[in-house]
Homo-oligomer: A and B are copies of this chain.
């Protein structure tokens, strides 16, 4: 049964400005403290005052990445950060293994090919996690040590699946020479990504995710092994040349004009994160994943990600007999909560609840309640009315 939810749902009685709540995987909600920090007048980016901000945020970023190595800041998106990470450690014709189980995995395959890398793709179906054994086998078979890097997405935003980055990075470590290049755009600040402990070489991320900031900054963390590869890399770059950023970072500066106001936001957001603490942040995201999942299941809405592999950042839901896009629109229209739709072939089949960054228990409870109320209003609730919120509340109480 496919129902035109949008036409069935009553609209907001009085559409109210500024009531929008974001529950998408980015941009994520931004704390008022961060918004206000960002609205300060810019200062000179070559001033001592700005150097202090660069110094401080660099230390904070190392804390977040659990590394003593470099974490560099670019004006750009998460894709810009990943591109910089990839093209600074590889050369034309290099063989790379690319994990692909969703839209972002696909993106890194395309990016690698655009730079003339030789790409061996390890696929999993959308909704399924990448199989670490497939990586182990490919890496062990590479006795000639031709594989230069493994590129993979930790939290696959398009499907709500978390890949086993730790296990795969472990296999790369055993290979000996290959690098692990990880897209941690929607995992960093949501779950444990101990860069040094896991032996990650390049970690890319973006500001509009776990950082609780607006979009516009990309982050690339580099291991010493990655820097050694940088010395051999021949792919052309200038703005993305991380050697320039590393050199400037030593003087608490940037090689190109940094996004000064986004740095204000970064400083404020990372300070909030440090006050909360990594353990608490990770526990909160795990709790929200569990609560969102429990709520959906209790309403008869199947999860899209394979059981046990749901991302702490985002829950993808695949309703049966209900157009997911129409349901998503109805929730927006009725309660002004923005959920994400399905991408590519999942359009209309999946909606996604972002619970990443500045999200508290109340937000998750509210999202589940709004989805439940919308289903109820449409006569599409496939369980007992109130069961979704009850299950969500129980999960939050753990």
A397 within 8 A of B: no
A110 within 8 A of B: yes
Least Cβ–Cβ distance between A110 and chain B, in angstroms = 7
A52-60, A171-179, A257-265, A302-310 - interface stretch: A257-265
Q: A36 to chain B: which residues have CB within 8 Å? A: 39
Closest to A42 in B: B27
Number of this chain's copies in the complex = 2
Q: Is the CB of B27 within 8 A of A77?
A: no
A11 within 8 A of B: no
Q: Is the CB of A115 within 8 A of B238?
A: yes
The contact size tier of chain A is: 35 or more
Give residues of chain A (29-79) contacting chain B, Cβ–Cβ below 8 Å.
29-30, 35-36, 38-45, 47, 74-79
Q: Which one, B35, B47, B114, B262, contacts A236 given CB within 8 A? A: B114
A210 within 8 A of B: no
Q: A239 to chain B: which residues have CB within 8 Å? A: 76-77, 79-80, 83, 240
Q: When each residue 136-162 of chain A gets 1 if its CB lies under 8 Å from chain B and 0 otherwise, what string results?
A: 000000000000000000000000000
A206 within 8 A of B: yes
Least Cβ–Cβ distance between A172 and chain B, in angstroms = 23
Closest to A108 in B: B238
Known: A75-B75, A257-B77. A238 touches B83 (CB 8 A): yes
A215 within 8 A of B: yes
A345 within 8 A of B: no
Q: Which one, B41, B208, B237, B241, contacts A35 given CB within 8 A? A: B41
Least Cβ–Cβ distance between A346 and chain B, in angstroms = 14
A386 within 8 A of B: no
Closest to A23 in B: B44
Q: Which of A114, A208, A261 has the most CB atoms of chain B within a 10 A radius of its CB?
A: A261
Q: When each residue 208-221 of chain A gets 1 if its CB lies under 8 Å from chain B and 0 otherwise, what string results?
A: 10000011100000
Least Cβ–Cβ distance between A256 and chain B, in angstroms = 4
Q: Is the CB of A76 within 8 A of B76?
A: yes
Q: A115 to chain B: which residues have CB within 8 Å? A: 236, 238
Q: Which one, B29, B47, B75, B77, contacts A256 given CB within 8 A? A: B77
How far does the alpha carbon of A240 sit from the alpha carbon of B87 in the complex, in Å?
A: 13
Enumerate 28 A-B pairs (CB-CB under 8 Å) in ascending A order: A22-B41, A22-B44, A26-B257, A27-B44, A30-B41, A35-B39, A35-B40, A35-B41, A38-B38, A38-B39, A43-B338, A74-B76, A75-B215, A75-B216, A76-B76, A76-B239, A77-B259, A79-B238, A79-B256, A83-B238, A87-B236, A111-B238, A114-B236, A115-B238, A116-B236, A208-B257, A215-B258, A215-B260
User: A residues touching B (Cβ–Cβ < 8 Å)?
Assistant: 18, 20, 22, 24, 26-27, 29-30, 35-36, 38-45, 47, 74-80, 83, 87, 110-111, 114-116, 206, 208, 214-216, 235-241, 256-262, 338, 340
Can you add 17 more A-B contacts, CB < 8 Å, to A26-B257, A35-B41, A75-B215? Answer: A22-B41, A22-B43, A27-B42, A38-B38, A39-B39, A47-B338, A75-B76, A76-B239, A77-B259, A79-B239, A79-B257, A80-B256, A110-B238, A111-B238, A115-B236, A216-B216, A216-B261
